[in-house]
Amino acid sequence: MTGAREAVLTQIADILLDARRTGKFLQDLPAELMPQDMDEAYAVQDKIAQAHGEIGGWKIGAPNAEATPLFGPMPKAWMSANHSALRGERWRYRGLEAEIAFVVGQDLPARETPYTREEVIAAMASCHPVIEVLESAFVDPTKASRLASFADLQMHGGFVYGSAIENWQAIDWNTEKVTLTVDGVLRVERTGSNTSGDLVKLLPWLANEGTKRTGGLRKGQWITTGSWTGNTPAGSPSVIDVTFSRAGNVGFRFE
């Protein structure tokens, strides 16, 4: 990448950061400040994440079973425990996604020999129900250009994690049910609805294919594995609850 192009990507990151910080949201990025491909969108993501301090983990998912996974960094400062109250001007878009996430229990540094699925699963300390909160630098991120929205941390705004799931390896994720309610009203009810087809396969993919960007997975990092419920909007104030049939529940409130 040329120095001139690197300067453009830094400018894009600054624009997206400024939009979220000031509340002056964008319709889209101008054509001359648009990432040219996913590699550039990822580079912008990384610059934005660096501005928020330590990376607490990675969000990863795939739109279908055959697609190449997409992943992005999650700032540690944006992570909250079960039953948290989220308040302040940062919460504007308030999109919700029910997900399953893992905590890395031991470092998985980059190496020449790929990690096996079994090795990566054994390295996970725990598995949890979580809610990803979507936020955006754009007035309507669904109408912004695809690469612009991906550059904006793939709409990541934070996440709330529930308690560890006992014996999670025995769960058949294809038959697992999930419900999402807002203020006690059922908004989504689905079964086996993770779009990747096999959410566990995302872990070795990230440990192997993602290392050029992650530098390897580190103990204590979180890995989310894609939405089960789509993007569900919430108001403020509101109370959000997600319940999986075997994986437990997680919730929080906007104030």
pLDDT at 23 over 90: yes
Q: What is the pLDDT of residue 91?
A: 96
Amino acid sitting at position 71: F
pLDDT 10s digits, 174-206: 999 999 999 999 999 999 999 999 999 999 999
Q: Count how many Cα atoms sit within 13 Å of the Cα of residue 186 in the half-sphere of its side chain.
A: 6
Q: Is the pLDDT of residue 49 over 90?
A: yes
Q: At a CB cut-off of 8 Å and minimum separation 6, what does 85 contact?
A: 252, 253, 254, 255
Structure confidence at residue 2 as a pLDDT band (50, 70, 90)? confident
Q: Band the pLDDT of 1: cuts 50, 70, 90.
A: confident
Strands 124-134 and 156-161: antiparallel
pLDDT digits (tens, 9 = 90+) for 55-85: 999 999 999 999 999 999 999 999 999 999 9
The predicted model gives 198-226 an average pLDDT of 97
Smallest CA-to-CA distance from 142 within 189, 196, 78, 95 is with 95
Place of tokens 């934070």: 158
Instruction: Name the residue type at position 230.
Output: G
Q: Widest CA span of the chain, in angstroms? A: 53
pLDDT tens digits along 106-123 = 999 999 999 999 999 999
How many angstroms separate the CA atoms of 45 and 37, rounded? 13
Helix orientation angle between 38-51 and 3-22, rounded to the nearest 10 degrees: 50
Return the SS3 of 212. helix
- The whole-angstrom separation of Cα 94 and Cα 235 is 7
- Fold type of domain 3-254: Fumarylacetoacetate hydrolase; domain 2 (3.90.850)
How do the domains of the chain map onto residue ranges?
A: 3-254
